[in-house]
Every structure is written in structure tokens, then in C-alpha cells.
Amino acid sequence: MSGALAFVGGGEFSDGCVFDRDLLEASGGDEVVVVPAGAAFENPKHVVERARSWFASLGAKVREVPVLTRGDGLVEEHINAVREARFVYLPGGSPMHLRSVLKDSPFYEAILEMHGDGGVLAGSGSGADVLCDPMVDTRGGAFTVGLGLVPGLAVIPRSNTWSHDKVHRTMELAPRGVAVVGLPEATALIRHPDGRWTSSGVGECVVYRDGALADLSALPT
């Protein structure tokens, strides 16, 4: 049985992210492996330092695995680090770059092994977006191919910053049968090892399916 899986709407490593304490407990450890690939063109070191400060306040330490490019993901040391982890976190940034780094890579396969062995996997912003299939192209709100960890599910990170019209447009474009979840910042949608979905954090997850409002029971397991 796979471990806990958390989709975070952005605004990670902030006071509203109360769910991180529960994810740490679920991991059974006190270390979080942070992979800042999504922020490769922004300020990945700053992302890692924010993670260090945040998780230190929760009594845990952070280990950076500096995978920023596809080539970095071929380094055996990096592959082994995520395979042996109990909690891997993919922060936000560019979803297209993150997808290009992870797709069909031994590094991503190692992440899946970790999660399949009961480890916790969390993605925030683009890190949440790419794990789905389809994934939302946040630049315009259309859909594209994601990594497919949870097929039949798409998330809209930072949905609290989207206009009503943009959200509505994305809902209209969603393939039939796909559940789409609006994820506000500092809010998590969590799939537990037993298949249950819950939400936690400062905002409220809003679920759409086939153009209508739905609830968490409509999400694929």
C-alpha cells in the first residue's frame, strides 16, 4: 500500500500549513527530502532555506536533493536519496520544467518506489499539478499531459488567485469524468494510505466533475 499523498495549493512552508505536522508523523521520521527542481529558474536555494526554517519549527530537518535539470536526476546519489527517504517534498515553480525533469526518469521512478513502500509524497503548486493526469497548464488554464500518479484527477494550484472566469473556462475544458480540484494556497488535499481523501489548511478545496460541483467522494482512489 502506498503512503500518504498530499497536493498543496502553493504557499508552502508557511504558518497555515498545519497539515505538515501530520504528514511528518505519517512518515515515521524526522527528515524531509526537498527537491527544488520546479524552482530551478527562480531561487531554488531560497526555497530550500524556507523549507529548513519551516520544518525546524516542527522538529524536523531538511535534506536538499539538488536536482534542477534532467541530468541531475541521473546522478545515482540523488536517485538513492529519494528512494531511501520517508518523506519527499516537491515545491512549486514551473510545472513544465518540473515535468520535463521528472517524466520517464529513473529519479521519478525512485520517488514512486519510495511512495509505494509507504513513504509520504507531497507536491505544492507545480509539484502538485504535475503529479496528476491531466495536469492544468496554469499559464492559460487548459489541460495537458501530466505524470499520472493519480489519473483522472487535475488540480488548480493557487485557485484563490484565479478569476472566476478563468476557473469557469478551465472547468469547461476538463475532459469528461475528470475530477478537478481548486486548491487555495496553504491548503492540502490528502490521500491517505487507505484511499480516503481529506482536506486541511487555511482554505477550502472545491471539487468539480463534469461541469458540476462535487465532493471528495468523487475523487479517484
Residue 64 to residue 62: CA distance in whole angstroms:
6
Nearest to 162 by CA among 137, 186, 138: 138
Q: Counting every residue, how long is the chain?
A: 221
Q: CA angle, 107 as apex, 106 and 111 as ends, to 5°?
A: 115
Query: Which domains occur in the chain, in start order?
Result: 5-218 (3.40.50.880)
Is 68 in contact with 91 (CB distance < 8 Å)? no
Residue 181 to residue 207: CA distance in whole angstroms:
4
pLDDT tens digit string along 55-114? 999 999 999 999 999 999 999 999 999 999 999 999 999 999 999 999 999 999 999 999
pLDDT score, position 216: 95
pLDDT score, position 211: 83
Along the 221 residues of the chain, how does pLDDT read in single tens digits? 699 999 999 999 999 999 999 999 999 999 999 999 999 999 999 999 999 999 999 999 999 999 999 999 999 999 999 999 999 999 999 999 999 999 999 999 999 999 999 999 999 999 999 999 999 998 888 899 999 999 999 999 999 999 989 988 898 899 999 999 999 999 999 999 999 999 999 999 999 999 899 999 999 97
Residue 85 to residue 50: CA distance in whole angstroms:
20
Burial status of residue 164 (CB atoms within 10 A of its CB: 0-12, 13-18, 19 or more): exposed
pLDDT score, position 1: 61
Which ranges in 41-163 belong to alpha helices (H)? Answer: 44-57, 76-83, 95-102, 106-116, 126-129
